[in-house]
A and B are shown apart, each in its own frame.
Chain A
Amino acid sequence: MAEPSIVFTDVNERQGAFHRRIFILGGVVAFGLFALTGRLAHLQVLQGGKYQKLSAANQYNFRLIPPPRGDILDRNGKVIAGNRPSFRVMIESNEVKNIDDTLNEVSYILPQAVTNRRRILRDLNQNQRFVPTIIASDLNWEDFSRVSLYANDIPGVVADMDQLRVYHYGGAFSHVVGYVSKINARDLEREKARPDYTEEEDKLLRHPSFRIGKTGIERAYDAQLRGTAGGRKVEVDAEGQVVAEDPQGMIPPKPGADITLTLDADIQMRALEVFGEDSGSAVMMNVNTGEVLCMTSTPAFDPNLFVSGIPTDAYRLLADYERLPLLDKAVGSTYAPGSTFKMTTALALLDAGINPAERVHCSGAFYFGRRFGCWKPGGHGSVDMVGAIKHSCDVYFYAMCNRAGIDRIARAGRKLGLEHIYPDLGIDGQKKGLLPDQEYVRKYRKKDPVWHPGETLSAAIGQGMTLVSPIQLATYTARIANGKKAVEPYLVNKIGGDLEDHMSKFKTIEIPEAHLAIIRDGMNRVSNDADGTAYRQSQLDLGPNIHMAGKTGTAQVRGYDKTGIRKANEWKYKDHGLFVCYAPVDQPKYALAVVVQHGVAGGRFAAPKAREIMRLALIKDPEIRKRITGPVNAAIDTGKLNADASASASAEVDVPVDPNARSD
């Protein structure tokens, strides 16, 4: 105090500088704290919601539970496609720090992990982060118990039980029921394109145990069979270990609906049995309801191979075999119908007002610009319409067909269900076939847009451009046999217990019953007159009440070289054998079409197969069995049938009908 102030100038200067600068320091700190508090408020108050979601995503994990796929049953409840348990081990890549270390650890308890390492690493790269990758599936119990004991110690490795699709009948239904397989990029694209595609569904589709229907019923009704995924809400820690399970958060999966088919496993198996090594197809329908009872395509393949992924070499064998086991011949393959088409031509002739009693003399050939030969070189002599069907006389149809014209023939064919895709059948890959007419050649045959009358001759006997598939042939036969309703084939009876209605959609056949009666008479005679083309092959041996009516067909395969010599000894140049039939003759119930690819001739090779299949169907039917075992004439209600026939005949056109025509 007493000291001179000059001594303090320096001190005061230092003090002044300090005081000025401490304000700056305070200001900087204040600014810093203000900024931090502001940031805190921004994070916690403004963005709180966003981070709460992220936090919950950290804390809770939804483990998807895939739904069991619906079973596919035959009409009697036999399981065609079901599920079986499969033990497997998966790796969850988002919970694994180092994949190599984890796989090494796994390989101590599961040697398969070593051999499959490349596949596992490839799958891990392809799968999205949250999608588990399968290390090994279908483990035996010993392996599985060892893995499930130790897996919990390896983070990210999960052992669980999975449902795997199993086809109990092996190849019997491989085409019609189809198969499921791992989803591929194309399937995923198609699913994503659906408007009602959800994120939940996306997770299910990417789940490693999910299988998507690839062909047949499995594909057509995939949405119904698939079900809805459930979920397990679990609390996990940072290492992905499950800390707690939330029982409230458990959503049980909704199993897919069971689908009951119209198919009969016994008939299907019988059809396969009679086909043996032969390539072809058999389709049987109920003529009243349209139910498809059997639908085979041989040779077949084992769909179980496709469920876990078929090895490439095995697939190549199937794909390269000349009898085309992968093709569904029942719907996806078309053939010239040959003589089985003659009923169509005959109906067109009746439609054109030709008297069925008019006779044509068959001398074994017909000349129309060139020589058109009958299948029987010696000729049939004088035949009327019924006789022409019975003997399958080509000359009768050659002579008559241009009086009906190709357009009328095509129209008759369409009324009977040819050149048509059946929407109710559901399954993909149906081929439409072809009934050529004037419009068709005008539109599509640019080189030669005019229909030549000579072409009608080929078309009339089911050769030339005409193409039909076995399912169309069966429907065609069913409509002839039904006579009233234009039945359409379908495969699904019930989905998840609900009956499917198909029958109310059936239209009426726009062909007079009287005309159809003549055709049926012809078919009856094919099988039951001693000189019919398929008499021997059509004897069901089910007593005097039950008979079948049929029509043979032989479709020429382009197997003639330039010199006109057939290379018949080679399988793939042999003719196709066809046979269509229905039974019982008096009260038709079942219609059947059999196509034996390169089966030489319908009567010899297709008809016996048809007989065996038809026999089993008739024996299995309880009503018909009663008639087989019952008294001889008890069930034949001729009066009623004839009354129906004459009523419709008088109402429609004036065509003479012999009421006794089918009483033999």
Chain B
Amino acid sequence: MVDSALSRPGQRERYDSKITQINWVFVICLIALASIGMLLQYSAGGMSWQPWAYKQLIVFCTCLVLTLCLALVDLRVWLWICYPFYTISLLLLVAVEVIGDVRMGAQRWLEIGSFSFQPSEFMKLAIVLGLARFYHEASAKDANLSWKLIIPALMIAVPTGLVMHQPDLGTALLIAFTGGAVMILAGLNWKIIAAAAAGAVVMVPIAFQYILHDYQRNRILTFLNPEADPSGTGYHILQSKIAMGSGGLLGKGLGLGSQSQLNFLPEKHTDFIMAGVCEELGFAGGFAVFALAGALIFMALRMASVSHSHFGRLAAAGTTATFALYVLINGAMVMGLAPVVGIPMALVSYGGSVMLTVMAGFGLILGVRVHRYQELPRQQSIFARFE
């Protein structure tokens, strides 16, 4: 038995045995999903590897290697880098606020040399790690109901607020939801969940009126009634629905989708790539994407739940929640079920930052599975001395 062999002392720490513990079915699903994305980028580029498909392939291959490497990283290392990573990400967000680049009306980008990146992307991963680290130390009672919950609440609220201010509603929501998911998974008291939900319901109209920017308000109004202004703000949703609907069961064929090929579909290779998938590959293509994404999510949740360490469980489940939110929000957005918030379809949409975040997250999930028997010691937290 492999397990008995692995039970030999030191055997599990060997890289060759770690590789056997990587969930290869999961990796194949990843490749399949990313391939659908690259196929569509090939089509969107006018049946050409340029300008998107080729770059995406390079990025994906690099990220895949990174994922597999990260899967072999000891969980103690993950545990060790959690707070520093979170702190650096937060500082970068502050830096964006102060010296960030303004692109397309939003201050999201930070430039270091010729390399520019969005620190909010790192925060998606950092929030999971930071919270998992916190809950790893916290007791079940603390996680359920305690004054100490102010700490994770602030850990979520501060970056959310910063990202919201950029403004990047989509990422802010993603960070908030991911953080919330981790808190719930850690055992947050249902009364607090209910109170937060009620508070959110009350906050929505207030936020709509006072916090959101005009264009964000318009997007939501458009979502509620897309036909009101078909050539203006409702254009995206309407054209996206036309693209998807006209695809039918089996699609128009790769490179033959009139909506995407003739530029009726905006953002056809990024946020609205699902509309292209559904137009050119039909319901079959769209279903395949959701099926693969679903398979990835459930495999990931399974991998999270077999971990022996609370940190591993929460980190893997939190990252899975991030991916699930990408899929669900983007899917709802392109089908006209949610307002247009700039959230791409992870793995399928063109774009390096998201790919990097998500693939790093998958590396963590795979790593949790690889190191599922690892017991992580609970260090005395800074709070311990107050107890």
Contacts and interface: CB of A to CB of B under 8 A. Distances in A.
Contact of A40 (B139, B184, B290): B290
A33 B262 contact: no
| A interface residue count range (under 10 / 10 to 19 / 20 to 34 / 35 or more) | 35 or more
Contact of A44 (B264, B283, B337): B283
Interface stretch (B115-123, B150-158, B298-306): B298-306
B327 interface: yes
B231 to A, nearest CB: 8
Contacts of B140: 10, 13-14, 17
B371 interface: no
A661 to B, nearest CB: 84
Interface stretch (B45-53, B102-110, B240-248): B240-248
Interface string B157-187: 0000000000000000000000001001111
Given A15-B310, A40-B283, A51 B294 contact: no
Given A17-B187, A22-B301, A36 B328 contact: yes
Interface stretch (A52-60, A158-166, A249-257, A305-313): A52-60
B185 A18 contact: yes
A624 to B, nearest CB: 70
Main secondary structure of the interface of A (DSSP, over half): helix
A17 B327 CA distance: 26
Nearest to A9: B140
A55 B246 contact: yes
A21 B283 contact: no
Nearest to B378: A11
A168 to B, nearest CB: 46
Interface in B204-254: 239, 241-249
Interface stretch (A236-244, A408-416, A514-522, A612-620): A236-244
Contacts of A40: 244, 278, 283, 286-287, 290, 335
A189 B7 CA distance: 91
Interface string A43-84: 111011011101110110000000000000000000000000
Interface residues of B, number: 52
B337 A239 contact: no
Contacts of B143: 14, 17
A17 B145 CA distance: 13
Contacts of B95: none
Contacts of A32: 324, 328, 331-332
A377 interface: no
Interface in A1-50: 10-11, 13-15, 17-19, 21-22, 24-26, 29-30, 32-33, 35-37, 39-41, 43-45, 47-48, 50
B370 interface: no
Nearest to A57: B242
Contact of B248 (A35, A45, A58): A45
A235 interface: yes
B290 to A, nearest CB: 5
Nearest to A41: B283
A56 B185 CA distance: 48
Contacts of A17: 140, 143-144, 186-187
B304 A22 contact: yes
B192 to A, nearest CB: 13
B72 interface: no
Contact of B317 (A25, A39, A41, A52): A25
Contact of A29 (B242, B287, B297): B297
Interface in B262-289: 262-264, 278, 282-283, 286-287
B186 A54 contact: no
B40 to A, nearest CB: 16
B258 interface: yes
Contact of B335 (A13, A33, A36, A236): A36
B283 A59 contact: no
Given A43-B245, A45-B248, A54-B246, A59 B185 contact: no
Contacts of A59: 258-259, 262, 264
Given A14-B143, A32-B324, A44 B278 contact: yes
Interface string A184-227: 00000000000000000000000000000000000000000000
Nearest to B297: A29
Nearest to B298: A26
B124 interface: no
Contacts of A50: 245
A479 B220 CA distance: 81
B328 A19 contact: no
Given A14-B310, A19-B305, A40-B244, A33 B184 contact: no
A314 to B, nearest CB: 40
Given A11-B310, A237-B263, A22 B290 contact: no
A94 to B, nearest CB: 8
B181 A25 contact: yes
B313 interface: yes
A40 to B, nearest CB: 5
Contacts of A39: 335, 337
B323 to A, nearest CB: 10
Contact of B327 (A26, A33, A45): A33
Nearest to B262: A237
B44 interface: no
A43 B287 CA distance: 12
Given A11-B310, A29-B328, A59-B262, A43 B186 contact: no
A25 B321 contact: yes
A50 B248 CA distance: 10
B245 A47 contact: yes
Residue of A25, A45, A48 with highest tally of chain B CB at under 10 A: A25
Nearest to A52: B246
Nearest to B259: A55
A47 B283 CA distance: 12
Contacts of B139: 10, 14
Interface string B332-347: 1001010000000000
Nearest to B242: A54
B131 interface: no
A15 B313 contact: yes
Given A15-B313, A58-B259, A51 B241 contact: yes
Contacts of B247: 44, 48
A548 B341 CA distance: 93
Contacts of A25: 181, 184-185, 301, 317, 320-321, 324
B187 A21 contact: yes
Contacts of B321: 25
B34 interface: no
A98 to B, nearest CB: 12
A9 to B, nearest CB: 9
B262 A243 contact: yes
A30 to B, nearest CB: 7
B262 A43 contact: no
A238 B187 contact: no
Nearest to B337: A39
B358 to A, nearest CB: 15
B290 A48 contact: no
B314 interface: yes
B366 to A, nearest CB: 17
A347 B337 CA distance: 89
A299 B17 CA distance: 110
Nearest to B308: A15
Residue of A24, A33, A36, A243 with highest tally of chain B CB at under 10 A: A36
B328 A33 contact: yes
B305 A18 contact: yes
B293 interface: yes
16 contacts: A14-B143, A18-B185, A25-B181, A25-B184, A33-B328, A36-B328, A37-B290, A40-B290, A41-B283, A43-B241, A44-B278, A51-B245, A52-B245, A58-B242, A235-B258, A243-B262
Given A236-B262, A237-B264, 15 more contacts: A14-B143, A14-B310, A25-B301, A25-B321, A26-B298, A32-B324, A40-B335, A41-B283, A44-B248, A48-B248, A51-B246, A52-B246, A55-B243, A58-B258, A58-B262
Q: Closest 4 A-B residue pairs measured CB to CB?
A: A51-B245, A17-B187, A55-B246, A13-B140
